[in-house]
Structures are given as structure tokens and as C-alpha cells.
Amino acid sequence: MTALNGIFSKEIFGFFRELGRNNHKSWMDANRERYRAVVVEPFRVLLDRMALVARKLDSKFIVTGRTGDNFSRINRDIRFAKDKSPYRPHMYLFFAGPGGETGQLYAGISAECATSGFRIYAEGRTSSLVQWGRARGAENTKWIDRHQRRLGRKYESYWYSSEKGEWIKHSGWPTKPEDWKKLQGWVVRRKFSPAATTKKEFDREVAKVFRDVYPLYEFTSSQAWKP
């Protein structure tokens, strides 16, 4: 069940709003078919349309269609979490390189809006951000400035550092060498209203976002990147 003129219908926003208010297994069990119809199936259509776009940008992008490879998990791991809500009230489609420790091109929908763009996190010692991304960013601030000027008007940027074991969110672009030395995560994204998300042009807008932000992925995630 998709929108008449686009991939997604407005029902996906209603589903996530209701899930946020009823975040427990009995509600999800009663709405399982609705979840498949308004969330899973449309996201699989988006995958089909975006896979070719992503692979044209980078032939190494994984396109299996599996949860964890291309889709976020709606189930939360609550074993060590203070928040015991079992479900995430959002869904993401993403494309990443082998190993799962590179950046991602993504499109996601929550109760409030859709977003699409680039994101990367320092998830371990073998992540591309830790291995070369931080050093590259610190050494190429002019490159960062150039892409900030190119994307800054349409795209929101924010990044994270870690202080005393807690993540601190910073608005804007990490433009200084000292920013990159402590960078734990970076997101550059464009927001879409619910109305824009349900239009038939949404997949083409996401494709444009992917092409716009791909240089950021290559900069942080490709060992072969050159200025």
C-alpha cells in the first residue's frame, strides 16, 4: 500500500506517531500487517529505485536488501539501555561499503519528517573515520570549506565529540583541525516535510541528495581518496 502519486503515503507518519505513544509489543503485534504495508513495502520500493543510483556512485556499496545491510532495525537492543522501549519510531534505508564501518548515504523517515544525506560515526578502531578520516579532515580544511559553501544553504550539518564519556553535539561543519581530532560522528542532511515525502518526485530528490553528498562519503570512507 503506497501513496497514489508517490512511494510513501501519509500513513507512515501516523504509524510512527502512534508507535511513539504505544511503544510495547502488544501494540506492535496488533499492527504488524500495517507496519509491513505502510513502512516495509514502500521502503523496499525505495531501495529498488535507489540501488542503481548508489552503485553508479560507488560499485562497492552493499545492496543485499537485508536488515543491517540496507535497512535499520526497528527492534531496539534494550539489554543494557535505560530506555526499555522495544521499538524505534523511525526507519532508515542506507548504502555503505563492505565491513559496515564506513560512512553511509541514507534516507530515513520518523514521525515528524524525512531526512536524507550522509552520516559517519567512529564505531571502532577499524572504522574508516578512525583509521584515516580524522587525519584527512584535519589536513584538508580548505576542502571542507569548499564543500560547506557548496552545500551549506540546502543542507544541515552537525557533528559530535566525546567529553568524559558523553557525546556532545555541535551545530555546523567541522572546519578546524582540532574539530577533526575529536570527531566521533558527522551528519550532513536535507529535511523533507511529510507533504514532500509523499510526492512522486521524492525518489528523484533522494537521488540528487546522494549525488550531492557522495564526495563527503568518499572523503571520509575511501582510502584511495585524493585531493
In total, the chain counts a number of residues equal to 227
SS3 state of residue 158: strand
Half-sphere exposure (Cβ direction) of 145: Cα atoms closer than 13 Å: 7
The C-alpha atoms of residue 227 and residue 225 are separated, in whole angstroms, by 7
The residue type found at 102 is T
Residue tagged 583509521 (cell numbers):
131
pTM passes above 0.85: yes
SS3 state of residue 114: strand
Domain spanning 11-221: CATH 1.10.645.10: no
Q: Domain limits of the chain?
A: 11-221
158 and 171 Cβ atoms separated by less than 8 Å:
yes
pLDDT (tens digit, 0 to 9) for every residue of the chain, 227 residues total? 444 479 999 999 999 999 999 999 999 999 999 999 999 999 999 999 999 999 999 999 999 999 999 999 999 887 766 778 999 999 999 999 987 689 999 999 999 999 999 999 998 888 999 999 999 999 999 999 999 999 999 999 999 998 888 899 999 999 999 999 999 999 999 999 999 999 999 999 999 999 999 999 999 999 889 88
